[in-house]
Amino acid sequence: MDIDYRSSALLAVDVQNDFCPGGALAIADGDAVAPVVNRLVPLFPVRVATQDWHPAGHVSFASAHPGKAPYDAAEPGADGRAATLWPDHCVQDSQGAAFHPRLDERPFNFVVRKGFRQDLDSYSAFFENDGITPTGLDGLLRGLGVDTVVLAGLAFDYCVYFSAMDARRLGYKVFVVVDATRPVDAPPGNAAHTEARMLQAGVHLVQSSEFPV
């Protein structure tokens, strides 16, 4: 695997209580990604963790849309980015928004919070769901000389997927550590669909066993 770790960043996406078993938007086996991330972290000089950080009544919550239910389709963003309505999750300063206790937070250099604008969701770690509003991550990474992004976290077919695609669009070399992610797979088949699109975009899908840890 051709990675220059000196110019690489590990991006741990949304390893938060609400996305793990027992959480408001639980992903099956989601907490199992944390130990894998912990093993990979020491390889990288730049280590970024992201958090969904929603205000109460956020536009992505089904409860904010009368007559809608969780997992219903929502209006896409201005760039046509597909959107879904979710159970209330990762509300700012709640226990659900906290990092999962199995994730060792101490080695991370930076935390990027996203989805904190009331009327704009953010799947990607790089852009809000309008595809235009930046989170600031790209500027941070470029300022640190990063040209390669290694992605892990939750969920494979949403926030990891959109982060990977945006990173490719921005010109980064991108790896997704598949065994350090888990999918929502909503609607059914979404995980396979997003995997195919990542491969078409030049994203490298790898296993943690391929890293020297």
How confident is the model at residue 161, as a pLDDT? 96
Strand partners, 211: none
User: Coil, strand or helix: which one is 5?
Assistant: helix
Residues in the chain: 213
Hey, what are 85's tokens? 């309505």
Task: Note the pLDDT of residue 79.
Answer: 56
* Helix (H), strand (E) at residue 192: helix 190-200
Domain ranges for the chain: 5-54+92-210
CATH code 3.40.50.850 for 5-54+92-210:
yes
Across the range 153-161, mean pLDDT stands at 95
**What whole-number distance in Å separates Cα of residue 201 and Cα of residue 211?**
22
Residues 26, 132: Cα–Cα separation, whole Å: 29
Under the banding of pLDDT at 50, 70 and 90, the label for residue 72 is confident
Q: What confidence score (pLDDT) does residue 82 get? A: 61
- In angstroms, the CA 180 to CA 9 distance is 15
Tally of CB atoms within 10 A around 90:
27
- Give catalytic residues, as residue numbers: 14, 114, 159
pTM for the whole thing? 0.93
